[in-house]
Amino acid sequence: MTNAGKGFVVKAAAVQDALGTAIATQLTSSGEVTPLSVGYPAGGLQAEHIWIGGEFNVTMPRLISGGLQRDELGEIEVRISVLWTAADMATARDRALALSRIVENAVSVDPTLGGVVDEAYVTAVAGNEAAPDEHSRMYGLALRVAYATTAYLC
């Protein structure tokens, strides 16, 4: 049997979708109505928004089982944006951090993301503030979600 014409398909797109499903489940169970999208939302951001970045970073450290499968380690970024008409940045920051707990819970409650990966976990969080005008404050968070899985030759 030959492997000609066969190849590995990076699982990152399936992981993005599964992560979106996991976050949507947590949003629903917590009673949140914050918009969620995979990729930057068409029509722009709402006052509060969670979106899974369309980009990803994947490494394949080794082939296993005679080259029929390989390890895949990847990272996906989940972004949270909060725009509030508030007197101080802390109000928007604290709301963004509250929404970040939804993402953390989604990954910790279902670390396999519905069986798509062997393991997923949040590895880093970065915050950023902005003042779009003198009456509003914006705060953004970026959560890096790492995953490990096995990709099979197809």
The CA distance from 96 to 79, in Å, is 10
Q: pLDDT band at 136, cuts 50/70/90?
A: confident
Give the domain 12-152 fold: Alpha-Beta Plaits (3.30.70)
Phi, psi of 105 (to 5 degrees): -65, -40
Name residues whose C-beta falls within 8 Å of residue 83's C-beta, 6 or more positions apart in sequence.
45, 47, 48, 92, 132, 136, 137, 138
- Domain assignments of the chain as residue spans, ordered by start: 12-152
Q: Which of 12-26, 110-124, 125-139 has the lowest mean pLDDT?
A: 125-139
In this structure, the number of other CB atoms found within 10 A of the CB of residue 137 comes to 21
**Average model confidence (pLDDT) for the chain?**
88
Is 2 a residue whose pLDDT tops 80? no
Give the tens place of pLDDT for each residue, 71-128.
Answer: 889 999 999 999 887 667 888 899 999 999 999 999 999 999 999 999 999 999 999 9
Is 67 a residue whose pLDDT tops 50? yes
Is 20 a residue whose pLDDT tops 80? yes
Which one is predicted more confidently, 113 or 33?
Answer: 113
- What confidence score (pLDDT) does residue 150 get? 85
- For residue 86, the cross-strand partners are none
Going by C-alpha positions, the residue among 58, 135, 154 that lies closest to residue 92 is 135
Is 27 a residue whose pLDDT tops 70? yes
Average pLDDT over residues 122-137: 88
Name residues whose C-beta falls within 8 Å of residue 93's C-beta, 6 or more positions apart in sequence.
82, 127, 129, 139
